[in-house]
Structure 1
Amino acid sequence: MFCFQCEQTATNGCKTVGVCGKDDLLANKQDELLATAIMLAKEYCDAPNPEVSALLQDALFVTVTNVSFDKQHVEDWINLLKRYSHNMDNTFSMTEIWQASEDERSLKSLLIFGLKGLAAYAHHARVLGMSDQEVDHFFYEALAILPESLSLDQLLGLNLKCGEVNLRCMQLLDQGHYEHFGHPFPASVSMRVEAGPFIVISGHDMQDLYLLLQQTEGKGIAIYTHGEMLPAHGYPKLRAFKHLKGHFGTAWQNQQSEFSHLPAPILFTTNCIMPVKKSYEDRVFTTSLVAYPNMVHIDGKKDFTALIDKALALGGFDDPQLFTGINGGSELTTGFGHHAVNQSMDAVVDAIKAGDLKHIFLVGGCDGAKTGRNYYTQLVQALPKDVLTLTLACGKFRFNDIDFGKIGDLPRLLDVGQCNDAYGAINIALSLSNRLHCSVDELPLTFVLSWYEQKAVVVLLTLLHLNIKNIYLGPTLPLFLSPNVLDVLVQKWQIKAISTVEADLKQMYPQEII
């Protein structure tokens, strides 16, 4: 096997077993699935159809880190794609890309991983009935051309186009969310778990949560979000269900300890699952594209009866339990999407002009288990009280249980939502630049991003497409970036690796620019 697609990868890439828990057989099957998708895209490139488009996107999503740990599941996807082929060329292998020249491999890998992230967002949008021909056609174009010999300039252009298409895709997803569930509004969410039966839902899929809430209504079962599902509490249509009680646990990488003695079932809806421990394997359910050997899978009919029965049988806690975040807080806030923040934009602009708000930091992205991620907690805690922090995705669980106070009526920490809500953060930045009649680069705004998997990669490509510069990235730079490709990113967009909080703040927050 060879894999270097996520931040936790081994020093020179994973070659015998994945740090994520995948063995070589599963990793090679996922490469085979990717190669099959490439050849199917090549076959349909001149005559795309919606059914094949959906298959290509979902097949790529299956290969995202922490989605499928089931070899048979991946094999089934390979066979499904092959059934749509009339003359599939089976001679192509991903090793042709992994063994290419260093810079070609780097840029093709960047594009592949960007496409995987784009596929995830396209899947979420399609679940909500949102799709777009431009988005669909790009998958054919980019996948079909991967086996070809391309110049580095061509490959860089394709990566920037991937970022451009992703901006459109995230806009569709944003639209789908508010059309189905309403515009998010600020909400305070308790980490207290009441006595009695309950279900924990993890992942990103708001539609799965909505269907679960419908099917559990009136059954005496409480629903608690986990990980990236926290922003559900900001949506009016979801919040209207009284048995959506609160939030359990912290970020995804802590699930193996947090779920070990949980007297309730856990439903995984998208990429967040880790190798399941014996201590809770009888309580794990999967749905959608998530797959894990020997776990109960709920198919596309979304009949949650087995999950409901398990919750009732386990019974939950005998007494209420108060859990806390990493820093000891038991209340979390969410719901500061672009609609809510833009409604307060007058106050933001006035605070900037009055000197009460000196700078805005966007500290967002993925969390992970590798050391160095306490940097983000230390950074946010070190920021002066006249600084506002926007955050999104699961990296916020490093610090979102801390009360940072307010600037006027605005909380100093604003949770924009999931990684799926990255469009919201971009929208806020663009709205503020319009109000202050300047470019995003001229705003008192600094992007400090953490990455783990492929959705973070495509969001970075979107920011590069928008020509946003001086992005700080960590906790480590992607292994798949060759020195030459990294040099291009540094020269064109001034990408910076994080170092220490003290050293970085001297560059990020120079008082003289305010």
Structure 2
Amino acid sequence: MSMFCFQCEQSANPGGCKVQGVCGKTAPVANKQDELTAALIGLARACDAKGATAAEYALLKQGLFMCVTNVNFDEERVQEFINRVEAARNAIDPSAADFDWEALWVGEEDIISLRSTLLLGMRGMAAYAWHAAVLSYNDPDVDAWFVKGLVEFAKDHSAEEWLGLLMEFGEVNLKCMALLDKANTESYGTPEPTKVSLTVQPGPFIVVTGHDLHDLKMLLEQSEGKGVDIYTHGEMLPCHAYPELKKYSHLKGNFGTAWQNQQNEFDNVPGAFLFTTNCLMPPRASYKSNVFTTDMVGFPDVAHVTAKEDGTKDFSAVIEKAIELGGYKEAQHFTGINGGHEVTTGFGHGTVLSIADKVIDAVKAGAIKHFFLVGGCDGAKVGRNYYTEFVKQTPKDTVVLTLACGKYRFNDLDLGEIGGIPRMLDMGQCNDSYSAIQVAVALAKAFDCDVNDLPLTLVLSWYEQKAVCVLLTLLALGIRNIYIGPTLPKFFSSNVLNILVEKFQLHPITTPEADMKAILGAN
């Protein structure tokens, strides 16, 4: 059976994955996800005519989220969700399914490229919107755009009209990131700078990966007092900085590095694993029975924790598995990829803006000459050591802001301080790009200039659909001269890429040395 998927950075050459996904996704699953996307368009078309209910918005968000790279590999669960979406559509208007899905992928390469970019951006935004929704935070403008975007996706537009839709989407995604920031901080407090150990203590433990703070909070509550320690993994590292999460003494530290290393890092580990969002690599036999998925995540023959009608989840099976496995007999002193034994997180916009005067004074005094935002997704493809070397080469009078799992390439480096301000500031998860935007806007206001006139350069690592929606937001805000790599998305045609380069001064990365010279030579 054939398939076609080009939605992530690691897609096979020349144009995408056609037999099996490099991520491990099979052709039947890929084709089911296409079928699900078509069903979601049908539901959106039905809702467009009469208005959507909260339940229908939830289906759109969950369904798009299920199609993000490394979320769901389970054909049966995708089919079950298709059935739910089609039932909801048929209850409104069965004729809304009357459009030609295949025809959307035939025609001019540039139009297909632009159409694909919109869909993939919406998938990324859906993940953020769903994380906020489980905390009972919703935005009517964001919800409405899922209907609008899917309806427009199935229409014909000129290249100029597609670009207009992409910029409109980018503006809406900023609202979505603001919504999730509000949901997280109002639920768990403003992140605080926090040092996180990479050592795993003796005894039973659970490793939580993904992005979902709500799942972690429920697990912490249910495991408290049971002799089971909790460790974060990947994008869950910033959870240690939230006051309402770090107050649990059995939230001990961080296990491992970025998502693509998990098959090696989890191999034969005597602990349980909870996968809350994208980040699922096909589990090896040595630890597959220790893995539990939840929410939209799924893999065949892996235990799944389902939410009850009130949204709560029973993680007792995960806790019992950890107790059964027993954990390590002695402390395991792991390190980051550069040999560090601890990392620091918690520099969201609330913290950075609280010391804005100090930062501004350091800039005015010449102590801080430049800011680099080096962040984004990590991945397995060769070339991502660029980001390690780039950060190592940043001058001592510069500050490195970072976020998302790309930071594991360098977040255990000790870059020192500038006047008490750490030279490396971990701002959080990929959705915390909102924090970086807020800081940039505040600095621009303080210096009475445009964001593009600041001594600030964004150096981004791209992988999946959340990176797409963040990039579109940055472009919609008018931010220019972004460096991006290690390779560019295959869904960008050469003409579309040229438009982005010319219109937004988007720079594909070259070498750390050459890019550093180009950036600092211009300032």
TM-score by length of 1: 0.98
Residue 277 of structure 2 is aligned to residue 274 of structure 1: no
Q: Which amino acid aligns with 1:55?
A: L
Deviation, 1:377, is 0.3
Contact 2:135 2:214 in 1 (8 A): yes
Q: Distance in 1 between matches of 2:442 and 2:54?
A: 34
2:4 counterpart of 1:2: yes
CA distance in 1, matches of 2:143, 2:251: 35
2:252 pairs with 1:245: yes
2:71 is aligned, of 67, 74, 78, to: 67
Residues of 2 paired with 1:100 and 1:245: CA distance? 54
Q: Which amino acid aligns with 1:48?
A: A
Which residue of 2 is the match for residue 308 of structure 1? 319
CA contact (8 A) 2:5 2:16 kept: yes
How big is each residue's C-alpha offset from its partner over 1:148-190, in whole Å with a ceiling of 9 and x where there is no partner? 1111111111111111100001001000111010000100000
1:73-92 aligned at under 5 Å gives the runs 73-86=77-90, 87-90=94-97, 92=99
Q: How does 1:9-158 map to 2 (within 5 A)?
A: 9-11=11-13, 12-46=15-49, 47-86=51-90, 87-90=94-97, 92=99, 94-158=101-165
**What's the CA shift for 1:89?**
4.7
Alpha-carbon distance in structure 2 between the residues aligned to 1:233 and 1:210: 11
On the 8 A contact 2:201/2:332 being kept in 1, the answer is yes
Matched, 1:180 2:187: yes
Q: Check the 8 A contact 2:266/2:287 in 1, yes or no.
A: yes
Q: Secondary structure at the match of 2:395?
A: coil
Q: Which amino acid aligns with 1:310?
A: K
Return the alpha-carbon distance in structure 2 between the equivalents of residues 465 and 128 of structure 1: 27
Name the structure 2 match of 1:428: 439
Q: Check the 8 A contact 1:473/1:498 in 2, yes or no.
A: yes
Q: Distance in 2 between matches of 1:340 and 1:23?
A: 43
CA contact (8 A) 2:335 2:341 kept: yes
Q: Aligned pair count?
A: 512
Query: Which contiguous aligned blocks of 4+ residues in structure 1 show a shift greater than 4 angstroms?
Result: 88-91
CA contact (8 A) 1:40 1:88 kept: no
State the distance in 1 between where 2:103 and 2:261 align: 36
CA distance in 2, matches of 1:92, 1:413: 50
What is the SS of the residue equivalent to 2:63? helix
1:238-287 superposed Cα distances (whole Å, 9 cap, x missing partner): 01000101010000000000000110100000011011111111100001
Aligned equivalent of 2:358? 347
The equivalent of 1:317 in structure 2 is 328
Q: Distance in 2 between matches of 1:259 and 1:319?
A: 17
Aligned to 2:451: 440
1:347 CA displacement = 1.1
- Counterpart check, 1:285 vs 2:292: yes
Q: Is the 8 A contact 1:32 1:93 kept in 2?
A: no
Alignment check: 8 A CA contact 2:415 2:422 kept: yes
Task: Write the distance in 1 (CA, Å) between the matches of 2:360 and 2:406.
Answer: 27
The question of 1:490 aligning with 2:501 is answered yes
Cα deviation for residue 453 of structure 1 reads: 0.2
Question: Contact between 1:359 and 1:444, CA under 8 Å: does it hold in 2?
Answer: yes
SS where residue 400 of structure 1 aligns?
coil
Q: For the residues of structure 2 that align with 1:374 and 1:285, how far apart are their CA atoms?
A: 31
| Matched letter for residue 422 of structure 2 | P
Q: Residue deviations 1:368-387, cap 9 Å, x none?
A: 00000000000000111001
How does the TM-score come out when normalised to structure 2? 0.97
Work out the CA distance in 1 between the residues paired with 2:169 and 2:396.
Answer: 38
Contact 1:35 1:93 in 2 (8 A): no
Aligned to 2:399: 388
Write the distance in 1 (CA, Å) between the matches of 2:211 and 2:152: 31
In the alignment, is residue 449 of structure 1 matched against residue 460 of structure 2?
yes
One-letter code aligned to 1:149: D
Q: Distance in 2 between matches of 1:423 and 1:488?
A: 25
Tell me, in whole angstroms, the C-alpha distance in 1 between the residues paired with 2:240 and 2:493: 41
Shift of 1:50: 1.4
Q: Deviations over 1:290-347 (max 9, x none)?
A: 0111111001031011111101110100111110111111100000000000011111
The DSSP-based 3-state class of the residue aligned with 1:371 is: coil
Kindly provide the amino acid, as one letter, of the partner of residue 157 in structure 1: G
1:88 offset after TM fit, Å?
Answer: 4.2
Deviations 1:192-224 (A, max 9, x none): 111011110000000110000000001011000
Q: Return the match for 2:271 from 256, 264, 269.
A: 264
Aligned partners of 1:294 and 1:440: how far apart in 2? 49
Q: Distance in 2 between matches of 1:457 and 1:93?
A: 26
Where do residues 455-494 of structure 1 align in structure 2 (5 Å cutoff)? 455-494=466-505
Q: Distance in 2 between matches of 1:133 and 1:317?
A: 48
CA distance, structure 1, for counterparts of residue 279 and residue 395 of structure 2? 33
Aligned-residue CA RMSD (Å): 1.0
Q: Check the 8 A contact 2:5/2:18 in 1, yes or no.
A: yes
Task: Quote the Cα distance in structure 1 between the aligned partners of 2:477 and 2:322.
Answer: 46
CA distance in 2, matches of 1:407, 1:97: 53
| Alpha-carbon distance in structure 2 between the residues aligned to 1:433 and 1:383 | 22
Letter in 2 for 1:76: E
Aligned equivalents of 2:39, 2:108: Cα separation in 1 = 22
Which stretch shows the higher mean deviation, 96-105 or 116-125?
A: 96-105
Q: For 2:516 and 2:60, locate their aligned partners in 1 and report how far apart those are by CA, in whole Å.
A: 43
Q: Which secondary structure does the structure 2 equivalent of 1:478 belong to? A: coil
Distance between the aligned counterparts of 1:272 and 1:139, measured in 2?
23
Identity %: 55
* Structure 1, unpaired ranges of 5+: none
Instruction: Report the Cα offset of residue 97 of structure 1.
Output: 2.4
